Amino acid sequence: MSRKGADIVIETLKEENVEVIFGLPGGAIMEVYDALYRDGSIKHILARHEQGAGHMAEGYAKATGKVGVAMTTSGPGATNIVTPIADAYMDSVPLVVITGQVPTHMIGNDAFQEVDIVGITRPITKHNFLVRDIEELPLIIREAFYIAKTGRPGPVLVDIPKDITQQLSDVKIPSLEEVKKALPGYKPHVEGNAQQIKKAAKLIMEAKRPVLYVGGGAVNAEAQEELIELAELMKIPVTTTTQGKGAFPENHPLSLRMLGMHGTYYANMAVYNSDLLIAVGARFDDRVTGKIDEFAPDAKIIHIDIDPASISKNIIVDVPIVGDVKIVLRKLINELKRKGAKILYLEERERWLEQIEKWKKLHPLTYKNSKKVIKPQYVIEQIYEVTSGDAIIVPGVGQHQMWAAMFYKFSYPRQFLNSGGLGTMGFGLPAGIGAKIGRPEKEVFVVDGDGSFIMTMQEIITAVQYKVPVKVAIINNAYLGMVRQWQELFYDKRYSEVDLSLQPDFVKLAESMGAVGFRAEKPKEVREILEEAMRIDDRPVIMDFVVDREENVLPMVPPGKSYRDMILEDGRGTEAETMYLVG
Amino acid sequence: MADIVGGADITVAKAPKFRQTRKGQVRKHIINVKVRNEIGVLARIATLIAGKGYNIESLSVGETHEPGISRMTIEVVGDDIVIDQVVKQLRKLIDTLKVRDITDVPHVERELVLIKVHTPTSRARDEVLRIVEIFRGKIVDVSPETYTIEVTGDEDKINAMLELLKPFGIKEMARTGKVAMRRELFAEEAGE
Ligand SMILES: Cc1ncc(C[n+]2csc(CCOP(=O)(O)OP(=O)(O)O)c2C)c(N)n1
Ligand SMILES: [Mg+2]
């Protein structure tokens, strides 16, 4: 049947089971919006800025594991979504972004609202396409979905010139088999090399002081069950990155919680003293390793990852295993069981776990609470309590993000959705809206900074319009706090351009957009407000928590330094004698 | 150093230790890439290499006997380890079918060069002609003042010839960039 290119777009999206598109229309994409209107079966969320649409699609994708879909017009619409695309690329988020383009015959002429978005996004997409022929349109869109969600997930952009959306064609929607056949150069590894898995099993059985270091790859592969089984089977403590949070429950006795720059003392000490590090779907980011040549200096490293290019990128590993994390872990467990799952140095292992318990007691995550001013950590703890630890937490970027990571305990995958790789301020609110749309049954708490919130706060309107009851807790220190902290610690308190004390009245701002606004200035108001917010389920709630302005995120490994240089929660350095194994 | 922990010996670090870090040798690499001949492939590959801060020394592209498939030979100077990373990332591109660093495997490489040499005197013309013959080149264009020479060969041959021609004055030069191919091993060699 002959139909317009625009209708083919919608038909193909339906074939991909797309339930929701986040976007904002304009000239070059109008035909597709017309087809969307006429069809009427796909929900569309009208963001107020394309960056918002992009982060919403990311939040949706991160919360559900499905592909997030965003749509914009050409030119400024397309450039406005560049940041979310880069963000999704860094954090391996499956995204399909459809952009309108000027008509084919005008491309390259500096036409009105023309920009070479394919060129611009080439280094920040897993792949991108400019559609040149209507006959290719459905194949390209299906390829985009296939590429976005398989292997190491990532964003794929499809740029569609306006004339192609207007032409008529009776081209068929291709089958998945045809899609795969059209991509002969794309074959993600999945199985994992059997020989390497054997080697890994041997190292694990022989290890005295092993640690599992788990990243976002384990969440993407849905490998929680395998991780718990492996850790319990071989008694291996587990630390995760921010992306890996929830892949292993943080209330599990073997959990070391987060490692790295703002990791726990005990996670970092365990990694530093380990003799075997098993990296699972993680990429040895510099925020994790600190000074690379002092990272786990005594350890052999096993690295399991779907992306061959991630392996031995930042650090030399002893046993690389390329494959799907879930499949490889399952095979590894089977191999270990086949060999009797023996821990060869059982006594040393017991002592290793004892040592870790000592580290946990020596320097747990703590802070000094106050009766006069609200401490940011206290707010996070209270959020944990009123949500019974079950909410999805979506932070912005800064100190509040780290406090959210530290003082909320995460128990299931896709529970902590943050902009980890790119560190995009403004991610929180729109991503939280996307997450709530994807998982309406879950409470979604955006823990935002006053600086981050302002970058995308227009999306409150979007949440009001679609009755998305996200809760937004602004940890308001009236500072670009994380930058201020660095200035305090490394620039002699020269607070250059970080003061945000001139700010909108967040309560009135919320109310002006039809949301509910609350403010807490005293510690005792925190709980009251949160409880009241929990009773609202038809609108977003914006809570302004006026917190201690100069609170710092601790512990901290200063940038470029080693775990040995960690600044502890009392602001003092690590005492050398506690660093290493002590009786 | 051994430490007594709860009665058992565990060997642990007592002083800071250092992990071996990655440092490779910096040298010229030859990478062969088989690609689908799609729009933007070249840009993708160039962007990726430039993104590592490396300059492409030479790049040649041409069609192969298979329809829609092209082959590139890329010469790039870089750290072995970073190049290994580049190769892995090139493999990840959707449009690449095969990527191989052939620097350390037996291979043949050739480049074609056109050189316009200043030859105003008959003596210069005689001498240049002799050099061209020795290197089995060809004179492909002549003017009262110049010879234009075509020569193919590997890097050593071409460099040697250029050295000899330099004193006459090279007015212009164009190089195709290398093409390279792995040598096929004989059965007994392959079996080793
Ligand atoms: C878009 C963007 N611009 C700048 C930065 C650098 N940056 C990192 S944290 C931060 C301060 C964030 O302030 P706020 O959102 O109030 O959070 P706080 O640290 O105060 O909790 C800045 C400016 C960034 N990460 N993203
Ligand atoms: Mg702030």
Tokens standing for residue A579? 């660093």
Q: How far apart are CA B44 and CA B90, in angstroms?
A: 9
**A575 phi/psi in degrees, rounded to 5:** -80, 130
Domains contained in chain A, CATH given = 3-181 (3.40.50.970), 194-362 (3.40.50.1220), 376-546 (3.40.50.970)
DSSP letter at A416? B
Helix ranges (H only) for A459-522 are: 459-465, 481-490, 506-512
Angle between helices A346-362 and A265-273 (to 10 degrees): 150
Cα radius of gyration rounded to whole Å, chain A: 25
Tell me the best of A49, A418, A482 to mutate to test the pocket of ligand 1, counting ligand atoms within 8 Å of each CB and taking the most. Answer: A482
Distance A401 CA to ligand 2 centre (A): 10
State which amino acid sits at residue A161: P
Q: Give the 3-state secondary structure of residue B101.
A: strand
Structure tokens at A552: 């710092």
Place B6 in a pLDDT band, splitting at 50, 70 and 90: very low
Percent of chain B with pLDDT over 70: 86
pTM: 0.93
Q: Do A237 and A353 touch, CB atoms closer than 8 A?
A: yes
DSSP three-state, residue A289 = helix
Closest partner residue to B21 (CB to CB) among A122, A292, A582 is: A292
Q: Say whether B22 and A315 touch across the interface (CB within 8 A).
A: yes
Of A118, A297, A309, the CB nearest to B88: A309
How far B24 CA sits from the closest chain A CA (Å)? 12
Q: Is residue B90 over pLDDT 80?
A: yes
Place of tokens 């040598």: B183
CB < 8 Å to A185, chain B? 35-36, 93-97
**Backbone angles phi and psi of B3, in degrees to 5:** -120, 140
DSSP run (H or E) holding A532: helix A523-534
Beta bridge partners of B27: B78
A122, A123, A351: residue with CB nearest B6: A351
Tell me, what's the pLDDT at B1? 36
* B14 with A355: Cβ contact below 8 A: no
CB–CB of A122 and B40 under 8 A?
A: yes
As given in the structure block, the two tokens for residue A360 are 């946990």
Please report how many Cα atoms fall inside a 13 Å half-sphere around the Cα of residue A74, on the Cβ side: 24
Name chain B contacts of A582, Cβ cutoff 8 Å. 3, 5
Span B137-167, pLDDT tens digits: 999 999 999 999 999 999 999 999 999 999 9
CA distance A295 to chain B (A): 7
Phi, psi of B69 (to 5 degrees): -115, 130
Cα separation, A154 vs A89, in Å, equals: 5
Report the atom number in ligand 1 closest to the C-alpha of A477. Answer: 20
Whether A106 is a known active-site residue: answer no
CA A282/CA A91 separation, integer angstroms: 11
Distance from CA of B11 to the nearest CA of A (A): 9
Is residue A162 among the annotated active site residues? yes
The tokens for B153 are: 């060969």
- Per-residue DSSP letters for A203-220? HHHH-SSEEEEE-HHHHH
Q: How does DSSP assign A434-446, residue by residue?
A: HHHHH-TTS-EEE
Query: Smallest Cα–Cα separation from A220: which of A96, A110, A88?
Result: A88
- Per-residue pLDDT at B46: 92
| B1 touching chain A per CB within 8 A | no
Question: Are B143 and B117 spatial neighbours (Cβ–Cβ below 8 Å)?
Answer: no
Using CA atoms, how far apart are residues A344 and A325, in angstroms rounded to an integer? 25
Which protein residue has the closest C-alpha to ligand 1 atom 8? A398
CB contact under 8 A, A122 and B43: yes
Beta bridge partners of B142: B147
Chain A touched by B40 (CB under 8 Å):
yes
What rounded mean pLDDT belongs to chain B? Answer: 87
The reply to whether A487 belongs to the active site is no
CA distance B69 to B100: 16
Contact A123 B5 (CB under 8 A): no
Q: Does B94 touch chain A (CB under 8 A)?
A: yes
Question: Along the 583 residues of chain A, how does pLDDT read in single tens digits?
Answer: 899 999 999 999 999 999 999 999 999 999 999 999 999 999 999 999 999 999 999 999 999 999 999 999 999 999 999 999 999 999 999 999 999 999 999 999 999 999 999 999 999 999 999 999 999 999 999 999 999 999 999 999 999 999 999 999 999 999 999 999 999 999 887 899 999 999 999 999 999 999 999 999 999 999 999 999 999 999 999 999 999 999 999 999 999 999 999 999 999 999 999 999 999 999 999 889 999 888 999 999 999 999 999 887 888 899 999 999 999 999 999 999 999 999 999 999 999 999 999 999 999 999 999 999 999 999 999 999 999 999 999 999 999 999 999 999 999 999 999 999 999 999 999 999 999 999 999 999 999 999 999 999 999 999 999 999 999 999 999 999 999 999 999 999 999 999 999 999 999 999 999 999 999 999 999 999 999 999 999 999 999 999 999 999 999 999 989 888 889 988 887 765 566 554 3
So what's the pLDDT on residue B9? Answer: 41
Amino acid A201: pLDDT: 98
DSSP assignment letter at B186: P
Coil vs helix vs strand at A378:
helix
Dig out the tokens for A349 from the structure.
């292992």
CA–CA separation, A394 vs A442, rounded Å? 12
Q: B-chain residues within 8 Å CB-CB of A183?
A: 94
Cβ atoms < 10 Å from Cβ of A239: 28
pLDDT of residue B16: 57
- A-B contacts at Cβ under 8 angstroms: 96
Query: Which position among A162, A245, A326, A471 bears the catalytic label?
Result: A162
In angstroms, the Cα distances linking A444 to A63, A492, A539, B25 are: 10, 38, 12, 51
Q: How far apart are CA A573 and CA A563, in angstroms?
A: 11
Cα dihedral angle (A315, A319, A321, A327), rounded to 10 degrees? Answer: -120
- Domains of chain B, by residue range, sit at 26-105, 108-180
Among partner residues A185, A308, A580, which is closest to B12 by beta-carbon distance? A580
Q: Which residues are near ligand 1 (CB < 6 Å)?
A: A 396-400, 423-425, 449-452, 475, 477, 479-483
Q: How distant is the alpha carbon of residue A214 from its chain centre?
A: 14
**CA-to-CA distance for B26 and A507, rounded, in angstroms?**
59
Question: Do residue A297 and residue B93 have CB atoms under 8 angstroms apart?
Answer: no
Instruction: Tell me which of A50, A226, A335, A459 is the catalytic residue.
Output: A50
pLDDT of residue A450: 98
Cβ proximity of A374 and A521 under 8 Å: yes
CB A551 within 8 A of CB A402: no
* Alpha carbons A550 and B68: distance in angstroms, whole number: 62
Q: Residue A578 has what pLDDT?
A: 61
Contacts of A346 in chain B (CB under 8 A): none
Topology of domain B26-105, CATH: Alpha-Beta Plaits (3.30.70)
Report the topology of domain B108-180.
Alpha-Beta Plaits (3.30.70)
Read off the amino acid at residue A388.
Answer: S
A555 upstream amide cis, omega within 30 of 0: yes
User: For A479, which DSSP code?
Assistant: B
Distance linking the first and last C-alpha atoms of chain B = 45
Q: Which band of pLDDT confidence, cut at 50, 70 and 90, is reported for residue B19?
A: confident
Measure the CA–CA gap between A28 and A160, rounded to whole angstroms. Answer: 9
